[in-house]
Amino acid sequence: MNYKMRNTHFLLSLLLIAISLKSTAQFVRIDPVKYFTSEEIKSANTAINEGYLTAEEKNIYLFTNLVRLYPKKFYEFYRAYVIADGEEKKLRSNRYYTSLTKELKTRKAVGALLPEKKMFDLAECWAVESGEKGLLGHDRIKCPRGYSGENCGYGYDPTGLYFVMLLLIDEGVEGVGHRKNILYEEFKGLGAAIRDHKTYKYDAVQNFSYTNDYLKEQDRIRMEEEQKKRQERLQRLDARRMEFQEAMSKWDEKELRAADITRSLSYLNDLEKDLYLYTNLIKLYPKKFKELIWDKGPFFDQLLPELEASLHNDSNYKRVSNWLATARTSSVLVPDQRSISVLRCVINKYLSGRENYKSCFQFAGAWRFQTFYSESNFNDVMNILLNPDDFNDLFSKGATIAMHKGDPSIKLFLTTN
C-alpha cells in the first residue's frame, strides 16, 4: 500500500490527516473470524445495533475496538492484511509498520469505544462538508467542533477496515497521531462517518470523546435516582418536622414560658436562646420530654432511616432515656452575661486565627470548646444529650454554653467553680 501523506495540526498533535492515493478495484478483505473468537468479535462490535450507521461505519467501530481490546491477537490480523495488500516487505523495513508491530506485541488492552451520537453528528458533518468541497484537515467552515480527538482519512476504498488500517499504520505521519487517538485509553466514545470526497473518492472521519451514550445514560439514571432519594429525604424531613412541631404544640403556654426564660436576654443570640429553651424544657419536665420527644424521635434531620430503629438500642440513647425517666425537676439554666462575654471573646479570637484566646478567661473555671456542623437548634441539643461529656457539663454541672451562628458552628462550655 503506497501512501502519500500530508500533515496539519489542530488540537495538539493528535489530529492529523491520512491520505492514500492508491486506486485499485481489488480491495483487501480479511475475515476477522479467522483471528478472533465469536465472543471477542461481539465485544468489539459495539455499534452493531446503531441504526444511524452504515455497515462500513459499524466496521470502523469493530476493527478499532479489536485492536484496543486484543492488541496481541490483532498483530496476526494486521500482518495478514499487509501481506494480502502486497506490502509484506514493509513489515521488516518500514518504520511505521515495524513500530506498529512492536506496539501490538507489547501493548496492554484498553477498553472498547462505545457509540456517541454527538460525535457521529460532528464526524458526519465534517465528512460531508470536506467531501463536497474537496477539503483536507480539520479546519471546519460551518460544522461545529466539540470533540476531544479527530482522525481524518482519505482514499479510494470505502470500507471501514481500510480506513482503520490506514489510520493505524499512519505511514508518513510523524508521531503517528492517528494511531495514538485510536489506542488512547482515556477515550470512551466514538463517532465515525464515511462519505464521498470530491478529490479522493471517499473520506472517513473519526471523532473521539471522553464519554459515550451508555455512560451518559448511566449518569442520567444515577442522577434521577439521586434526585428521587433527595426528594424522598426532603419529604421524610418535612414529615419529621411536622411530627416535631406537633410534639412541641403539646407543651402549654405556662410550660413554654417557664422554659424560655432567656428569650429577653440581649447578650444571647437566637441560636443560644433556642438551645436554652430546649435545655430548660428537659430540666423542668424530664418525664414529659421523654414521652413527647425522646421516645418518638428524636427528630434528627440527618438521621438515616435505616439507622433510626437502631438508635433506640444505642447505649447513649438508653442512658439518656433512663435518666429522663428518673430525673427530678431542676432549676432552669440561665447564663450570666460575664460568662457569655468570656466565651464570645474566645469564639471571636478563635475564628480570626488568633491563638491567645486563653487570655479571655478572667476567672477560674473548667472550660472547653469544639466545632461541629450544626443540623438545627433542636438537634444540637439532641447531640449534646447523646455526648456523655456534653451532657455532664450542661445538665450535671450547669455549665454556660455559647454557640456561633455559622457553618461550622462552635460550641463552647464553661463551668465555673
pLDDT in tens, 351-368: 777 767 777 876 556 777
Instruction: State residue 168's pLDDT score.
Output: 96
Give the C-alpha distances (Å, rounded to integers) separating 325 from 136, 259, 289, 389: 85, 19, 9, 20
- Sort strands 189-197 and 114-115 into parallel, antiparallel or unpaired: parallel
Taking the C-alpha atoms of residue 158 and residue 29, their distance in angstroms, rounded to an integer, is 12
DSSP β-bridge partners for residue 194: 204
Q: Are 364 and 417 in contact (CB under 8 A)?
A: yes
Query: What does the angle CA 306 – CA 309 – CA 314 come to, to the nearest 5 degrees?
Result: 110
Give how far the C-alpha of residue 278 lies from the chain's centroid of Cα atoms, to the nearest Å: 40
Q: Are 119 and 102 in contact (CB under 8 A)?
A: no
Instruction: State residue 377's pLDDT score.
Output: 63
Taking the C-alpha atoms of residue 193 and residue 332, their distance in angstroms, rounded to an integer, is 79
Q: Which of 33, 34, 23, 3 is nearest to 169 (CA)?
A: 3
* Sheet (strand 189-197) strand order: 17-19, 149-155, 201-209, 189-197, 114-115
Q: What is the largest CA-CA distance in the chain?
A: 103
Question: What topology does CATH give the domain 17-211?
Answer: Pathogenesis-related Protein p14a (3.40.33)
| 317, amino acid identity | Y
Taking the C-alpha atoms of residue 14 and residue 110, their distance in angstroms, rounded to an integer, is 18
Taking the C-alpha atoms of residue 403 and residue 351, their distance in angstroms, rounded to an integer, is 12
| 301, amino acid identity | D
Count CB atoms within 10 A of the CB of residue 311.
16
Instruction: State residue 188's pLDDT score.
Output: 96
Query: What is the C-alpha end-to-end distance of the chain, expressed in Å?
Result: 96
Instruction: State residue 224's pLDDT score.
Output: 95
Q: What is the pTM of this model?
A: 0.63
Residue boundaries of the structural domains of the chain? 17-211, 250-416
Instruction: State residue 11's pLDDT score.
Output: 40
Could you read off the pLDDT tens digit of each residue along the chain, which spans 417 residues? 333 333 333 343 345 566 665 654 468 889 999 999 999 999 999 999 999 999 999 999 999 999 999 999 999 999 999 999 999 999 999 999 999 999 999 999 999 999 999 999 999 999 999 999 999 889 899 999 999 999 999 999 999 999 999 999 999 888 999 999 999 999 999 999 999 999 999 999 999 999 999 999 999 999 999 999 889 888 887 888 888 889 899 999 999 999 999 999 999 988 889 889 999 999 999 999 999 988 886 666 555 555 666 777 788 888 999 999 999 999 999 998 988 888 888 888 877 777 677 778 765 567 777 776 666 667 777 778 888 888 888 888 888 888 887 766 778 887 765
Q: Write down the residue that cell numbers 405556662 correspond to.
A: 254
Q: Are 103 and 142 in contact (CB under 8 A)?
A: no
Give the C-alpha distances (Å, rounded to integers) separating 152 from 68, 126, 180: 19, 9, 13
User: pLDDT tens digits, residue range 307-364?
Assistant: 666 777 788 888 999 999 999 999 999 998 988 888 888 888 877 777 677 778 765 5
Q: Are 188 and 114 in contact (CB under 8 A)?
A: yes
Taking the C-alpha atoms of residue 300 and residue 139, their distance in angstroms, rounded to an integer, is 59
